Structure 1
Amino acid sequence: MIELEGLTKRYGDKLAVDGLTCTVRPGMVTGFLGPNGAGKSTTMRMMLDLDNPTSGTVRIDGRHYRQLHNPLRTVGALLDAKAIHGGRSAYNHLLCLAQSNGIDAVRVREVLDVVGLTPVARKRAKGFSLGMGQRLGIAAALLGDPQILMFDEPVNGLDPEGIHWIRNLMKSLAAQGRTVFVSSHLMSEMALTAEHLIVIGQGRLLADTSMSEFIAQNSRSFVRMRSPEGERLRDVLSGAGITAVPAADGALEVHGEDAEHLGELAARHRITLHELSPQRASLEEAFMRLTAGAVEYHAHPNHQARPPEAGWGADWQKKGS
C-alpha cells in the first residue's frame, strides 16, 4: 500500500504538487492520470525519495522509502527506461541491481525470461531499441519479486504483442494481491487495464474513484433508438414521461433510462426497432471533460503560420540553389 498525505512540492515559484492526499491499495491496478505538467512524474519520484517533498509525506507499507532494507524487495519501479549503463549487458545490469539488494543471481535469469530478453541477455543495452529498453526496465522492477510495483508509461516503444503482454502482466500481479500503480497517457490502454483511477491536474487531486464511476460521473451516456415508426415511437416515449432528442440520422437519443426498459416499452406498443444501443463515453472523453480546466499546455490547431519576413524566402532560395 502507498499512502500520500498532504504531499506538496515547489520548485521556486512553481507549485508542482499541491497537498496531494490519496491511497494506492493492493489487489488492483490503479491508473495515475493527468495532463502534461500535472505533477505525475514528480509525485512518483517523491514516492521513491528521488525528490524531497516541500511538505507532506509518502509511506510505503507504513515506512518511508529510505527506511526500506533492500528496497527492490518491497518496491519495483520503472520511471525511466533509459536509466541504464549502456555499456553493460542486460544480464549484468540486472545482476548489479540484484547484488545490491541481496537477490540471488538465479532471479536475474528468471526475469529476463519473463520479459522475453533471454536471447539478448549478453548484448549491451546501448544497442537496444526503445521497446527492448522498456522490457529491461520492467525486468528490473520485477527483480526483487516486490509486493508494490510502479510503472511510468510502461507501454512506450512496445509493439502490439508487447502491449498485450504488459497489460496482462499488470493484471496478473494485481490478482496476486500486489499493489500496481501505473501512469500513462494512452487512455484506451488504461481503460483496459486499470480498475481504479487517481487523477490530478495542476498538482491537485481531481478524482480518486473506480473506473466505472469515473466514466459515469464525467461523461454523457444515453440510449440510441431507431425505428421505421419514428414519430409513433417518440409519442409513446413522451406519453411515458420520457424525453427523446432527435439525432442527425433520424434516430432518437434518450437520457436517464436503461435500454431494457426502453425495449420493453417499445415491445408493449408493438413498435419495430432497428436499433436499441446504449452509448457510453470512453475514458478519454471523461478524462478530457474533467481536466479541461487543468490543462497547462494548449495546442492551437487552427493557428495560421505567418508568412516569412520580406527577403527571407529569397535568401533561402539563393542558399538552397
Structure 2
Amino acid sequence: MIEIEGLTKRYGEKVAVNNLTFTVRPGLVTGFLGPNGAGKSTTMRMILGLDRPTTGDVRIDGTRYDRLEDPLTYIGALLDAKAVHGGRSAYHHLLCLAQSNGIPASRVGEVLDTVGLKAVARRKAKNFSLGMGQRLGIAGALLGDPRILMFDEPVNGLDPEGIHWIRTLMQTLAAEGRTVFVSSHLMSEMAVTAEHLVVIGQGRLLADTSMADFIRRNSRSYVRVRTPQREQLLDALRTEGITPAGADDGALEVDGVRPEHLGELAARHGIVLHELSPRQASLEEAFMRLTAESVEYHAHTGPASSPPSGQWGAGWRKGS
C-alpha cells in the first residue's frame, strides 16, 4: 500500500504538487491521470525518494522509502525506461540491480523470461528498440518480486501484443493482492485496465474514485432513440413530461429515463423503434470534462506558420 498525506513540492515560485492526500490500495489496478504538467511524475519521484517533498509524507507499507532495506523487494517501479547503462547487456543490468538489493541471481533469468527478453539477454541495452527498453524496465520493476508495482507510461513503444501483455500482467499482479499504480495518457487502455482512478490537475487532487463512478459523475448518460414516427414519439414523450434533445441525424436523446421505460412507452403508442440504445461517455470524455480548467499547455487549431495579425516581432520574421 502507498499512503500519501499532505504531499507538496515547490520549485521556487512553482508549486508542482499541492497538498495531495490519497491511498493506493492493494488488490486492484489504480490509474493515475492528469494533464501534462499536472505533477504526476513529480509525485511518483517523491514516492521513490528521488525528490524530497517540501511538506507532507509518503509511506510504503507504513515505512518511508529511504528507510527500506533492499527497497526493490518492497516496491518495483518503471519511471524512465532509458535510465539504463547502454553498454551493459540486459542480463548484467538486472544482475547489478539484484546484487545491490540482496536478490538471488537466479531471479534475473526468471524476469527476463517473464517479459520476453530471454533470447536477447546478452545484447547491449543501447541496441534495444523503445519497446524492448520498456520490457527491460518492467523486468527491473519485477526483479524483487515486490508487493507494490508502479509504472509510468508502461505501454510506451509496445506493439499491440505487448500492450495486451502488460495489461494482463498488471491485472494479474493486482489479482494476487499486490498494489499496482500506473500512470498513462492512453485513455482507451486505462479504461480497460484500471479499476480505480486518482486524477490530479495543477498539482491538486481532482478525483479519487472507482472507474465506473468517475465516468458516471463526469459525463452525460442518455438513451438514443430513432424511429420513423418521430412526431408521434415526441408527442408521447411530452405526455410523460419528457423533453428530449435532437441529434444531428434526426434521432432523439433522452436524459434521466431508463431505456426499458422508453421502449414500453413506444409500444403503448404503437410506435416502431429502429434504435433504442443507452449511451455513456468514454473515460477520455469524462477526463477532458473534469480537467478542462487544469490544462496548462493548450494547443490551438489554425495555421502554425505565422502569429496573429499584427504580431510580427522578436522571434518572428515573415518568410522564415
Return the TM-score normalized by structure 1: 0.95
Q: C-alpha offsets along residues 2-48 of structure 1, whole Å, 9 cap, x if unaligned?
A: 01000000011110000000010111100000000000000000000
Q: Could you say which residue in structure 2 is the equivalent of 1:232?
A: 232
Residue 250 of structure 1 aligns with which residue?
250
**Could you tell me how far 1:69 is from its partner in structure 2?**
1.2
Distance of 2:175 and 2:258 partners within structure 1: 32
Q: CA deviation at 1:305?
A: 2.6
- What is residue 180 of structure 2 aligned with on the other side? 180
Shift of residue 259 of structure 1?
1.5
Correspondence for 1:281: 281
Per the alignment, residue 213 of structure 1 pairs with 213
Alignment of 1:129-278 (within 5 A): 129-278=129-278
Letter in 1 for 2:199: V
Specify the code of the residue in structure 2 equivalent to 1:306: S
Give the Cα–Cα distance (whole angstroms) in 2 for the partners of residues 259 and 182 of structure 1.
Answer: 36
CA deviation profile, 1:277-309 (whole Å, cap 9, x unmatched): 111101111111111111111111225532874
- After TM superposition, give the deviation of residue 192 of structure 1 in Å: 0.8
Distance 2:298 2:248 in 1: 31
Q: Secondary structure at the match of 2:17?
A: strand
DSSP-derived class of the 2:76 partner: strand
Partner Cα distance (2:224, 2:284) in 1:
21
Equivalent position SS for 1:214: helix
SS of 1:180's equivalent?
Answer: strand
The two structures have a TM-score, normalised by structure 2, of 0.95
Whichever residue aligns with residue 53 of structure 1, its letter is P
Partner of 1:62: 62
> In the superposition, relative to structure 1, how do residues 309 and 44 fare at CA in structure 2: closer, same or farther (>3 Å)?
closer
Cα drift, residue 266 of structure 1: 1.6
SS at match of 2:42: helix
Task: Name the structure 2 match of 1:6.
Answer: 6
1:134 aligned counterpart, secondary structure: helix
**1:127 paired residue number:** 127
Q: Look up the equivalent residue of 1:30 and give its one-letter code.
A: T
Aligned AA (1:114): T
- How far did 1:94 drift? 0.6
In 2 relative to 1, CA 304–132 (structure 1 residues): closer, same or farther, beyond 3 Å?
Answer: closer
Give the distance between the partners of 1:288 and 1:131, measured in 2 at CA.
28
Paired residues in the alignment total 312
Q: Distance in 2 between matches of 1:127 and 1:245?
A: 57
Letter of the structure 1 residue corresponding to residue 121 of structure 2? A
CA distance in 1, matches of 2:66, 2:250: 63
Unaligned runs of 5+ in 2: 308-315
Q: Which residue identity does 2:296 align to in structure 1?
A: E
Deviation track 1:189-219 (CA, whole Å, cap 9, x = no partner) reads 1001001000000000000011111111111
Identity of aligned residues (%): 74
Whether 1:80 aligns to 2:96 is: no
Q: State the SS of the aligned residue for 1:298.
A: coil
* AA at the equivalent of 2:185: H
Aligned to 2:16, the other structure's residue is in SS state strand
**Per-residue CA distance 1:130-152 (angstroms, 9 max, x = gap):** 00000000000001111100000
Q: Distance in 2 between matches of 1:82 and 1:285?
A: 32
Distance 1:67 1:35, change over 3 A: same
Query: Judging changes above 3 Å, is the alpha-carbon distance between structure 1 residues 71 and 304 closer, same or farther for their aligned structure 2 residues?
Result: closer
Query: Which whole-Å deviations, capped at 9, do the CAs of 1:59-99 have from their partners, x for residues lacking one?
Result: 01111011111111110000000011111110111111111
Matches for 1:20-31 after TM superposition, within 5 Å: 20-31=20-31
Report the Cα distance in structure 1 between the residues aligned to 2:95 and 2:229, rounded to whole angstroms. Answer: 71
**SS of alignment partner, residue 76 of structure 1:** strand
226-235 or 117-126, which deviates more: 226-235
Query: What corresponds to 1:107 in structure 2?
Result: 107
| SS class of match (1:62) | coil
Aligned AA (2:85)? H
Q: Using the TM superposition, name which of 247-256 and 295-304 deviates more.
A: 295-304
Structure-2 separation of matches of 1:67 and 1:225:
60
Q: Which residue of 2 aligns with 1:317?
A: none
| Paired letter, 1:76 | G
